[in-house]
Structure 1
Amino acid sequence: MPGLNTFAAFLLDATDGLQGPKTKRAKRFLEKREPKLTENTKNAMLIKGGNANLTVTEVLKDIVSLLDICMQPLPKLRLEFFSKKSDCSLFLFGSHNKKRPNNLIIGRMFDYHVLDMIELGIEKFVSLKDVKNSKCPEGTKPMLIFAGDTFDLNEEYRRLKSLLIDFFRGPNVPNIRLAGLEYVLHFTAVDGKIYMRSYKVLLKKSGCKIPRIELEEMGPSLDLVMRRTHLASDDLYKLSLKQPKALKAKKKKNISHDVFGTAYGRIHMQKQDLGKLQTRKMKGLKKRPAEKSVEEDGGISPKKTKSA
């Protein structure tokens, strides 16, 4: 393995199952790579081709600036090899040539093998620095908006939508504050093109608790066209979406919901014996000893003969 140090080579061999860990450092490394019920945030490789022009380079730089916390720029080497080495499940490759100018290839991995790849051509690009407006801090989690029926009707566009969500969603957070919702990524699919626009959310005074919202374009903006696609088969795609049994919500019996989300529960009770129904404790309703003995004898009492 040229260009790798001894420790990295050992770790790669260990992950292939050729030998077990011999040091605590290697053991910790392998434990981080083990399957988890809740996976960590997906990392992305950003690869610049040797023939990339200035436009492609600026696009890659702007994406790194917007989503700095999830990006790892890597040289153009074996894709699956470095995906396993750096634990990256997403990649973006930029290149430029006469046949396919201003080319971007976005894709993702499953089990360190290529799952989906979609090739996009850049027709128009406005850089982040060309828009003279205020910017969001680096690493801000964006709100994603998709417009256009094509994203739901066409299988290739449906996969592209899923890919873009994986790529730009950012880390999972337990809570969100209103002031943190300050960045919008808008994707529109119409007439065979994909328009990517980014906006900064401005919260203005409205005279009430709910602020007035305005969107201010901050860049970058891209006009893209879909070129070639390499999508996984339906069986492999379904396998990649499989969830562990521990994460699946257990179905609760005898519970239903209406259209408004109200939960209704059904309770099964045994048949009620009205003879044992508790009544008001009044002296006048208490049974006499003679009545109790009649009930114990089966409800039939012999008639008493009058004494002469």
Structure 2
Amino acid sequence: MAVIQRVVKPRTKRGKRILLKKEPKIIENTKNCVFIPGRKSSLLVSSCMKDLLKLKKPDAVMLTQKNDVLPFDDAVQIEKLLQKHDASLFFFSSHNKKRPNNLVLGRTYDQHILDMFELGIESYKGCSEFKGLSEISAGVKPVLVFLGEQFDSDQQLKRVRNLFIDMFQRQPLKQIRPNGIEHVMSFTAVDSKILLRSYRTVLTKTSLKTPRVELREVGPSVDFVVRRDHMASADLFKTACKRPNLKGKKIKSVRRDNFGSKLGRLHMTKQDVNTLQTRKMKGLKKTYAERKMKRKSDEVKNGPAVKKPKVAAQSKKLKKFSKKGRKLRGGQV
């Protein structure tokens, strides 16, 4: 039996504004991500999560309290945490003897888990080990590069690629300025592994107009191996990827001018203007002589008007009431 969720009603104006921000929108905001530490986590996984947090900021939040959660067994607690922080993406760290250095990343749709993948960290090199270049500034939109035929042939890696794009793409852009490209993230699929590399672009002067672009690795550098997965069905994934029609249906006979005013054309039947009731004004009121002339002209056209006989109004008889009885025409009762 499905559990009916409690409908939250705002009690203050601030609470109402918060709930309105969480409602679905036609043009959605940037997807937030929550980094959730598990009950037991190794130093390597924690350092990797901190470096990924730097790449995702400011659209990310790191939880400090450990959570005793098993995402592939029961993900209800993760769904509640994402709903609390108004997020749809998450990273979850764990470490045990069977699956060491474990990192789970996933996303939700309609406040329920849509896709979830368990990645094992085989090798890791943090940002602090790369020296000589400054760190990537927060909020920079990276260029995502996916290399390897397996991203196109393997159905599992296809969904992993889609999840990485959803995780790091930020807001879509229509135009790109070459000098604004600062960060490049490379994902390479080799022998059932995913190699993550992060580069910073360096522009050098040349004899041509366009500068020369060089890539310097700044970290993090991680080698992932895919372990377990939880993928949505094809129908559910298709429903989650649907986008609303922003333009809407075209309305006939309606257009807008250069000033933005809405202009429309109405198609109506022919109307008799003579019978149109206009506003009555004392200045336009006809005199007695004009009304008399109009009556005579109507009699000439249509003949003399037939006068209706006057009917005498019946006098209303009052009914008198007394304590003893009611007085009628025939006598007393």
Q: Measure the CA separation in 1 of the matches of 2:189 and 2:225.
A: 10
Correspondence for 1:111: 110
Per-residue Cα deviation, 1:110-137 (whole angstroms, up to 9, x for no partner): 0111000000000000010011131322
- Do the aligned residues in 2 keep the contact of 1:53 with 1:96 (CA within 8 Å)? yes
2:81 is paired with a residue whose SS is helix
Q: Report deviation, 1:176.
A: 3.8
Q: Report deviation, 1:104.
A: 0.6
Q: Report deviation, 1:42.
A: 0.1
The runs of 5 or more residues in structure 2 that have no matched partner are 68-76, 251-333
Q: Report deviation, 1:178.
A: 2.3
Alignment-mate amino acid for residue 197 of structure 1: R
Change (3 A) 1:53 1:247: farther
**Which residues of 2 match residues 67-216 of structure 1 at below 5 A?**
67-74=56-63, 75-77=65-67, 78-134=77-133, 135-173=135-173, 176-216=176-216
Per-residue Cα deviation, 1:110-165 (whole angstroms, up to 9, x for no partner): 01110000000000000100111313223321110000111111111000000001
Q: Measure the CA separation in 1 of the matches of 2:189 and 2:234.
A: 24
- Do the aligned residues in 2 keep the contact of 1:116 with 1:230 (CA within 8 Å)? yes
Q: Report deviation, 1:76.
A: 4.3
Correspondence for 2:242: 242
Structure 1 stretch displaced more, 68-77 or 187-196: 68-77
Alignment-mate amino acid for residue 207 of structure 2: G
Q: Report deviation, 1:174.
A: 5.8
- Do the aligned residues in 2 keep the contact of 1:51 with 1:97 (CA within 8 Å)? yes
Change (3 A) 1:227 1:249: farther
TM-score normalized by the length of structure 1: 0.72
Q: Measure the CA separation in 2 of the matches of 1:130 and 1:104.
A: 21
Correspondence for 2:287: none
State how many pairs are aligned: 236
Structure 1 stretch displaced more, 174-183 or 76-85: 174-183
- Do the aligned residues in 2 keep the contact of 1:204 with 1:211 (CA within 8 Å)? yes
Structure 1 stretch displaced more, 24-33 or 226-235: 24-33
Change (3 A) 1:179 1:86: same
TM-score normalized by the length of structure 2: 0.67
Q: Does residue 62 of structure 1 match 2:61?
A: no
Alignment-mate amino acid for residue 81 of structure 2: F
Structure 1 stretch displaced more, 128-137 or 16-25: 16-25
Alignment-mate amino acid for residue 39 of structure 2: G
Q: CA RMSD in A?
A: 2.0
Change (3 A) 1:247 1:124: farther
Change (3 A) 1:146 1:51: same
Correspondence for 1:13: none
Q: Measure the CA separation in 2 of the matches of 1:248 and 1:109.
A: 27
Change (3 A) 1:76 1:236: farther
- Do the aligned residues in 2 keep the contact of 1:133 with 1:217 (CA within 8 Å)? no
Q: Report deviation, 1:245.
A: 3.0
Change (3 A) 1:39 1:76: farther
Per-residue Cα deviation, 1:20-56 (whole angstroms, up to 9, x for no partner): 3232112111211221110000000101112111100
Per-residue Cα deviation, 1:183-231 (whole angstroms, up to 9, x for no partner): 1000000111110001111111111211111111111100111100100
Q: Report deviation, 1:173.
A: 4.8
Correspondence for 1:285: none
Change (3 A) 1:247 1:219: farther
**Which residues of 2 match residues 209-288 of structure 1 at below 5 A?**
209-246=209-246
2:62 is paired with a residue whose SS is strand
Correspondence for 1:267: none
2:128 is paired with a residue whose SS is coil
Q: Measure the CA separation in 2 of the matches of 1:191 and 1:215.
A: 25
Q: Measure the CA separation in 2 of the matches of 1:19 and 1:197.
A: 44
Q: Report deviation, 1:179.
A: 2.1
Q: Report deviation, 1:242.
A: 1.5
Q: Measure the CA separation in 1 of the matches of 2:56 and 2:248.
A: 31
Q: Measure the CA separation in 1 of the matches of 2:249 and 2:167.
A: 26
Q: Report deviation, 1:240.
A: 0.6
Change (3 A) 1:249 1:59: farther
Correspondence for 2:32: 43
1:65 is paired with a residue whose SS is helix
Correspondence for 2:327: none
Q: Measure the CA separation in 2 of the matches of 1:93 and 1:244.
A: 31
Structure 1 stretch displaced more, 69-78 or 23-32: 69-78
